[in-house]
Amino acid sequence: MSVVDPENRETTGRLMSVCEISNAGLIASVRSNFEQAMMRSFRSLLSKWLALACLVLALGQPVRAQIKPITDLQPTVLLISMDGFRYDYLQRYSPANLNSLAANGVRARWLIPSFPSKTFPNHYTIVTGLYPEHHGIVENNIYDAGFNAIFKLSDRHEVENGRWWLGEPIWVTAEKQNQKSASVFYPGTEAEIGGKRPTFWKKYDQHLANDDRVDMILSWLDLPRQQRPTFLSLYFSDTDDAGHEFGPLSNETKQAVLKLDQDIGRLLAGLRARQIFNRINLIIVSDHGMATVKLSSAILLDKFFDPSLAERIFWTREIVSIFPKPGQEDVIYQSLKRSLPPTARVYRKSEMPARFHYSHSPRIAPLLVLPKEGWILTNKKDFAELEAKGETKKTRGGHGYDNQLPSMRAVFIAHGEAFKTGKLVAPFENVSIYNIMTSILGLTPAPNDGNFRITRAVLAGMKKARGPHP
């Protein structure tokens, strides 16, 4: 695997000039009475040999010589999120680096996302060990009546405002217990939570190239021990982008998976060059899977209730959150209950099936409409726009559906000194990842919804270990 970063390109450049100088010096020193013809052929051979030797050096050895081995690594976790990477992509698209990590480390048959199977709720569950109803990021769009404000992904001001982010993410647990953390993107890392931020963090920039993200991680690992973070996070959106645009079974999504695998391969080469590949604890996850969706399979909700009876409605294709005007909840509920087609269902928040863990936050809307897999919820106006753009003829991908559906299944791959090797474990919920990370880092975890049995199943030498919250 080649290691190509600005540092190495510089090294290569420096080496080539050293080679050029020594080449010239050597040739100058070979002066004698030899015949001119002999001399010319000897010179030509010698310079060819030197050029070849320098090329070989420049391509291989000096890169390794330039990167210093890290010999004093503390127990360290690098959490990598591949947005929207469905569990079956590993087998379906054969990404070699990911499959090799899975074969040599731990893989869950799949990871069960939390409901709703959307990006922000699940990312924040992974790092807090809390269900969305407990950590407050209940959807990608949130209304909080207490501060009468709306949170959405495109509103940077709110995404960076700590008031939305409840519970304690792993980087705050680490910083509070005197460990350093670093993030090249992860939902929540841009906000101050519980008075803390990661020591190193970046504002989300979807255009930052994956290579640059990887280089940032490697440069933080290159810091001296006192400054080096022990928890790092790395985020990639490629598989979610392609999955939405073309559907999970498209060639474009396959190519996105294989390209991402190469980017991860480049990270692994960087870890190998630093001699920490087998030591650092990699946890590679996704937040949810991806379902095939035909936009013609649409349920136009405003045919079935009067939206003017609601104070606000968050329209997403896979979950619609309705906040009724005072006194209108029953009217809206009865109207939907009576008239919705069998492809969608309305729930009062209190009626949501217990397995969704989606009833106990004041931020969850009083009424929720959920469609069957592959169907989209929309309204007359938005659907007309989709039709006008020719969108309804396309096959696309979506997520946010019932978190137990096979199409929503995510991945969990772990590799490193703390993990078992060659271990396939049964599917588990993503609330259990936080405890795994605090155990590796020797941190006292904040109260959470995770099951410590999972920590024992994936970590080496934990047979008799008891969880902090039995």
Q: Which token pair is 254?
A: 């396959």
Residues 276-295 that bind Zn ion (CB under 5 A): 287
Question: For Zn ion, which residue of 240, 329, 402, 449 counts as binding (CB under 5 A)?
Answer: 240
* Residue linked to tokens 């992904």: 153
349 binds, among ligand AMP, Zn ion, none (CB under 5 to 8 A by kind): none
Annotated active-site residue 395? The verdict is: no
Q: Which of 11, 12, 76, 119 contacts ligand AMP by CB under 6 A?
A: 119
Tell me whether residue 224 is exposed, middle or buried, using C-beta atoms within 10 angstroms of its C-beta: 0 to 12, 13 to 18, 19 or more: exposed
**Of 133, 168, 215, 240, which lies in the binding site for ligand AMP, with binding defined by CB under 6 A?**
240
d(CA 32, CA 27): 11
Structure tokens that stand for 429 in this block: 């919920």
384-413: contacts with Zn ion (CB under 5 A): none
Chain centroid to Cα 410, Å, comes to 11
Minimum Å gap between C-beta 358 and ligand AMP is: 16
Binding mask 109-128 vs Zn ion (x if CB under 5 A, - otherwise)?
----------x---------
- Give the nearest distance from C-beta 247 to Zn ion in angstroms: 12
201 makes contact with ligand AMP (CB under 6 A): no
Q: Which of these is catalytic: 119, 199, 230, 378? A: 119
DSSP string, 16-74: HHHHHHHHHHHHHH--SS--HHHHHHHHHHHHHHHHHHHHHHHHSHHHHHHSPP---PP
Shortest Å distance, C-beta 430 to Zn ion: 12
Nearest 5 degrees, angle CA 324-CA 327-CA 328? Answer: 45
Contact between 410 and 87 (Cβ < 8 Å): yes
86 binds ligand AMP (CB under 6 A): no
Contact flag: residue 208 with ligand AMP (CB under 6 A): no
- Residue 237 in contact with ligand AMP, rule: CB under 6 A: yes
Choose one: 7-15, 220-228, 234-242, 402-410; the region binding ligand AMP (CB under 6 A).
234-242
Question: By the 8 A CB rule, do 365 and 349 touch?
Answer: yes
Length of the chain: 470
Judged by beta carbon, residue 270 or residue 397, the one nearer Zn ion is: 397
Tell me how far apart the alpha carbons of residues 197 and 52 are, in angstroms, rounded to a whole number.
50
Residue 360 DSSP symbol: S
> Which of 125, 113, 145 has its CA nearest to residue 364?
145
Cα separation, 96 vs 446, in Å, equals: 36
187 is an interface residue for ligand AMP by CB under 6 A: yes
Binding mask 72-101 for Zn ion (x = CB under 5 A): -----------xx-----------------
Among 165, 185, 383, 452, binds ligand AMP (CB under 6 A): 185
Is 457 within 8 Å of 418 (Cβ atoms)? no
Chosen residue from 86, 118, 349, 409 binding ligand AMP by CB under 6 A: 118
**Please, what is the minimum distance in Å from the beta carbon of residue 83 to ligand AMP?**
6
Q: Which two tokens stand for residue 275?
A: 């001699």
Question: Smallest gap, in angstroms, from Cβ of residue 171 to ligand AMP?
Answer: 14
CB of 331 to ligand AMP, least distance (A): 31
Task: Give the separation between CA 115 and CA 259, rounded to whole angstroms.
Answer: 29
Residues that bind ligand AMP (CB under 6 A): 83, 118-119, 140, 153, 159, 185, 187, 204, 206, 237, 240-241
Active site residues: 119
Applying CB under 5 A, the residues found at the interface with Zn ion are 83-84, 119, 240, 287
